[in-house]
Structure 1
Amino acid sequence: MGYRVVVAGATGNVGREMLNILAEREFPADEIAVVASSRSQGLMVDYGDTGKQFKVQNIEHFDWNGWDMALFAIGSEATAVYAPIAAKAGCTVIDNSSLYRMDPDVPLIVPEVNPEAIDGFRAKNIIANPNCSTAQMVVVLKPLHDVARIKRVVVATYQSVSGAGKQGMDELFEQSRNIFVGDPAEPHKFTKQIAFNVIPHIDSFLDDGSTKEEWKMVVETKKILDPKIKLVATCVRVPVFVGHSEAINIEFEDEMSAEQAQGILREAPGVMLIDKREDGGYITPIECVGEFATFVSRVREDSTVENGLTLWCVSDNLRKGAALNAVQIAELLGRRHLKKAA
């Protein structure tokens, strides 16, 4: 016997990817419902490459009773309305928005990193999915932290426009096309031109000069991995359609050589080490699209601190950064608590 699963926000980038991944991983679902706002009601969405399609239902009128779990990709404002309704009806919500991430009664989960934290989900019947840039980073940090204890992390992100949704992808496409034909490339979604440019600004600015995206990486890493880790981030939007990249500098309490780190990462769950010290012996964003893994390259020692490493990691932000992690949480929830499927 399988699960009854709802995908909320099924017409957006992440919602569609959730459906793709549920199908690819053959998630044990007896029934799937797809819901979205009234604007999308009646549209048909594909269930991966299975040939199956589902008709989008209006989330405003959906009856959550009898459903086991719901994967939410509808943004914080709508989540604030519908997640408590679903949770109260007994449907466990796995939420991709930022709304509940720092709620002490809501577990923030990356299954390869802190699976045991899911045991606290019953407090609100809601589980939070971390920020896309945090998710791929902590998958890499966790196995290294277990061996040598991380003291401090300095990370610079190179985040694709798909992190800003369909509007972000459309703006990069339209601006690039306009520039080639000599038309204006005015920004609408982003604060400045994104085509052939980089923008050191994601989300709103805070009083200390950091952005909310940078703050998320700090507080989410502490909640997921270890509150003692010191972290500073600079988050940058780059003209890439899909795939977030990160340059990560790590300072450890204990000694950690590059060779030792490579050996650890080679065996780490969710990580793929591609690290040849030659032309092309590393992974770039375009090569990670459609993949489940977080790829690591350019592992090397940092001689400016006593126990330091620097590395490069890349992941499909619509997958590990959002949809894949949500489905992995659903799988973990099923194995650890619901246990309905054979």
Structure 2
Amino acid sequence: MVSSKDVAKRAGVSQSTVSRVMNNPSKVSKVARESVIQAMEELNYRPNSVARSLVNKKTKSIALISGPLHNPFFVETTTSIVNYAKRHGYHTNVHFENYGDNMSVYKDVLSHQVDGIILSSIFYDDPIFEELQKLDIPSMMFNRKHRKGGHYVEIDNIVAGKMATEHLLELGHRDIAWIGGGLKTSTFHGRYKGYHDALSARGIEVPDHFIQVTDTTAEEIQRALESMLARKRRPTAIFAATDSIAIFILDYLHEKGYSVPEDISLIGMDNIEWSSHKSFNLTTVGPKSSENLGQLAIENLLDLMELEEIQKEINITIQPELYIRETTKELT
């Protein structure tokens, strides 16, 4: 087996220089870098394609930090991102959100050399934003964004939250509950604000137990519903902040003998493919069926990666649409 010590000896440099060439080539002089790469090729220490990538500092790989897979939205966007990147010659290293411990995911991503980073797992005030800005690597956020800007693709979450709530209000509902994830993310923060603003505009106040901020797994959604429905005052309608949450709610309500929408109307958000499935026919708010936030994000990221100098931030905000199906009805 050829070792880095053998490479260092052939190139006439130290082992630490060989390590820097492999992990941080920009900090090694051109002469030393080329000597090491030549030695690697001669000794077949690494595949020639990898060695050549160290010369031009291109790995033909990107890192994707996605939200959790129990949400079909992230399954759809991850598929679009990986497939588009592959068609353009890039390999995608996929990392999934670790609820409550994103820093460990970030550290893993930043420990590897990639040509670009695309992420939906970021908080509105996430400290990782500063680290991303320091890197000489293009990065693009989708679905979520940071307070300080950066490149992102999103849906107008405040407008979407208002649209969903106003649909329920127009159907005569006043006892409208909201169930969503943590408000530290721009998505849930915006969707909750839209909900709150729509109710406030009508002078409607809801009890505290109508607002359920929770983890987005099926188990936690069930606990939130149990707590809400155990109270004397129950909602006549629920705004679920994602279609994934709405489907968990629909399943639980059916299991407990509730009829949707006869007993409780339900609206989701995202317009994932499953929402139009005949098993759900979920009323929802989301982008046009032809618009995939992950697809738009990866297209723009690859454009950024081709630019030698980035002129301005890419900020894309898509306007939502209402899809009326079979889980909402007029209150009688």
TM-score normalised according to structure 1 size = 0.34
Instruction: Say which one has the larger Rg.
Output: 2
As a proportion of its length, which structure holds more strand? 1
As a proportion of its length, which structure holds more helix? 2
TM-score normalised according to structure 2 size = 0.35
